[in-house]
Amino acid sequence: MHSSRLSQCYKYLAHSTISSSQVLSIFLLKSLDKFIDIKVEITMDSETQRNKCAACYRQFNKKEHLVEHMRISYHSVHEPMCGICGKRCRSFESLRDHLIGPLPKVECERVFRDHGCTICLTVLNSPNSLRVHQDRCQLSRGNNGVLHRFANMGIHDDLRIDSGKTRAVALACKMVGGGSDGSLDLCARVCIIDEYENILFHSYVKPQLPVTNYRYETTGVRPEYLRDAMPLRHVQRKIQDFLCNGEPIWKIRSRGGKARILVGHGLEHDMKCLELEDTAKYPPLMKTSKLSNSLKYLTKSYLGYDIQNGIQDPYDDCVATMRLYRRMRSQAHRMEDYPLATDSQNSNNFASWRQGELERMSPNELLAISRSDYYCWCLDSKDVA
C-alpha cells in the first residue's frame, strides 16, 4: 500500500508541472524519509542532464566543467556518430567499441546486431537492406588484369599531365633498405592511380643511396630492376608537376584551383611539400590512443579484405588508400559555411563569449558553436559534385 502510493506520486511528479513546494506538502503528510531520497534523485537527474555533452554524452557535475570540455573537444557534425543513440565519437575505432565491444553500450549493441554493418558501422532499416548493403560494402582485393601486369613490368612511367581525369590521385611506394644495417627506408617503387583505380604511373625508382637490403620477401625488388630505373629526383619532379597540374606550388597548400588532391598512407617523408590526405593521420581512422593504424589494418577493418601478404605491389596499397579516402569523402555530413575551428571566422568561437554566457547556454547551443579541429574529407566532395 505504502509503496504503490509512492510510485503514484512519482508518476504524478513526472507528468505534472507542480512546484517542488506542492510536492513537498503531498509527501510530508505521507513519508518524509522516502521523499528526501526521491527529491535528491530528481535534482541530480536534471542537473546532470543540463551538464551532459550533446555530442559525446559525457556528464559533468558543474556547467563550467561542460564548458571547459567543449572548449577542448572540437565536437562537430564530422565526427563518426552512432546510428542508434546519436553519440559522437572521436574515431571509428571508438565507435566500433561503442557498438561491438568489448564493452559496448548494451542497448545500441542489441539493435546493431541485426541492423548494423560491421565494416562501415552504418545502421540499416531492416536485416534485408543490411544484406544488400553489405554486398556492396565488403570489397575484395580486385585486380586490374592485364593493365596491372604490364604495370609490374614498369611500362607506365610516362606520367602525362593529360592523363587522369579525376581530381584525387593515390600514391604508394615500396621501400628497400639502405644504410649499414639496411634499416634506412629508400623508395624503390612508386605507383599512382586515379579515383577509378586506373594506373597513371608505375615505376621502379633508383634510390640516391646504395641499397644494402632489397627486402625481397616483401618488395620483390631485385638489383637488376633498379639498375636502369628512373632516378628518385627525376621521379619526384615528375610527380610534383603532375600534382600541381599547372598551378604554382604555393597554391597547392590552399585547396582549390586545378591542383590534384594527393591521397596516401604515411607518405610525409617523401612528399612534405605537398598537400596530402593521409589515411595514417586522418583522426577518424586513427586509434583511440591517437596513434596511426597500419594500412593493412584499415583495409581489413574498413574495406573488408586483406592486403600486404607476401610480395607487395604498391598498386594494392594505392587501391586500398583510394578506397578509404572515397569512403570517408562520401560521408553525408551537414555542410556549414565555416567548418573548421581554425577558419578565421571561427577562431574565437568560444573565446568571444563570456564565461557566464557560455554557462547559460544549453548543451545543444554549445555544440552548435563548436567546430572540427581537422579537415573532414567530406569537404572535398564539394568539388566532385
| List 26, 85, 161, 335, residue binding Zn ion (CB under 5 A) | 85
- CA-closest candidate to residue 212, choices 180, 188, 248: 180
When the beta carbons of 22 and 59 are compared against Zn ion, the nearer one is 59
At residue 97's C-alpha, the angle toward residues 91 and 100, to 5°, is 130
Of 134-142, 187-195, 245-253, 358-366, the segment contacting Zn ion by CB under 5 A is 134-142
Q: Using CB under 5 A, which of 9, 66, 117, 267 touches Zn ion?
A: 117
Residues 265 and 245: their CA atoms lie apart, in Å, by 22
Q: Which one among 6, 13, 38, 137 touches Zn ion, defined by CB under 5 A?
A: 137
For 96, half-sphere exposure in the C-beta direction (CA atoms, 13 angstrom radius) is 15
Give the contact letters, 97-116, x = binds to Zn ion (CB under 5 A), - = no: --------x--x--------
Is residue 355 helix, strand or coil? helix
Binding of residue 285 to Zn ion (CB under 5 A):
no
55 part of the interface to Zn ion, by CB under 5 A: yes
CB nearer to Zn ion: give 82 or 200.
82
Nearest to 241 by CA among 256, 258, 266, 265: 258
Minimum distance from residue 142 beta carbon to Zn ion (Å): 17
Count of residues of this chain found to bind Zn ion when the rule CB under 5 A is applied: 18
Per-residue DSSP letter, 157: -
| Interface residue with Zn ion, options 82, 190, 239, 259 (CB under 5 A) | 82
Stretch that binds Zn ion, among 16-24, 79-87, 184-192, 198-206 (CB under 5 A): 79-87
Alpha carbon distances (Å) from 261 to 164, 171, 244: 12, 10, 9
What are residue 89's phi and psi, to 5 degrees? -120, 155
Return the range that interacts with Zn ion (CB under 5 A); candidates 136-144, 183-191, 261-269, 320-328: 136-144
Nearer to Zn ion, 112 or 225 (CB): 112
Query: Is residue 378 at the binding interface for Zn ion, with CB under 5 A as the rule?
Result: yes
Of 95, 120, 190, 324, the one binding Zn ion by CB under 5 A: 120
State the nearest-atom distance from the C-beta of 279 to Zn ion, in Å: 15
**What is the distance between the alpha carbons of residues 123 and 130, in angstroms, rounded to a whole number?**
8
Distance (Å, whole) CA 53 – CA 371: 14
Q: Which residue's CB is nearer to Zn ion, number 116 or number 178? A: 116
CB-CB contact of 136 with 124 (8 Å)? no
Of 285 and 378, the one with the shorter C-beta distance to Zn ion is: 378
Interacting residue with Zn ion among 91, 358, 376, 380 (CB under 5 A): 376
Q: From the CB of 127, what's the least distance to Zn ion, in Å?
A: 14
Residue 27 Cβ vs Zn ion, minimum distance, rounded to whole Å? 36
Smallest gap from Cβ 99 to Zn ion, in A, equals 7
What contacts 246, CB < 8 A, 6 or more positions away? 161, 258
CA distance 126 to 84: 13
Tell me the window of 67-75, 146-154, 172-180, 362-370 that interacts with Zn ion (CB under 5 A).
Answer: 67-75
Task: State yes or no: cis peptide before 283, omega within 30 of 0.
Answer: no
For the segment 189-248, give every residue that binds Zn ion (CB under 5 A).
none
Q: Is 255 in the site for Zn ion (CB under 5 A)?
A: no
Helix axes 2-15, 32-50, angle to 10 degrees: 30
Task: Provide the 8-state DSSP code for 283.
Answer: G
123 neighbors 112 (Cβ within 8 angstroms): yes
Dihedral sign from CA coordinates of 306, 166, 280, 82: negative
State the burial class of residue 309 (Cβ atoms within 10 Å of its Cβ: 0-12, 13-18, 19+). Answer: exposed
Cβ atoms 82, 69 nearer than 8 A:
no
Q: Which of 9, 84, 205, 262 binds Zn ion (CB under 5 A)?
A: 84
**DSSP H or E run through 184:** strand 184-193
The footprint of Zn ion on residues 318-347 (CB under 5 A) is 333
Would you say 85 or 384 has its CB closer to Zn ion? 85
Whose Cβ is closer to Zn ion: residue 39's or residue 327's? 327
Residue 56 touching Zn ion (CB under 5 A) = yes
Binding site for Zn ion (CB under 5 A): 53, 55-56, 73, 78, 82, 84-85, 87, 105, 108, 117, 119-120, 137, 333, 376, 378
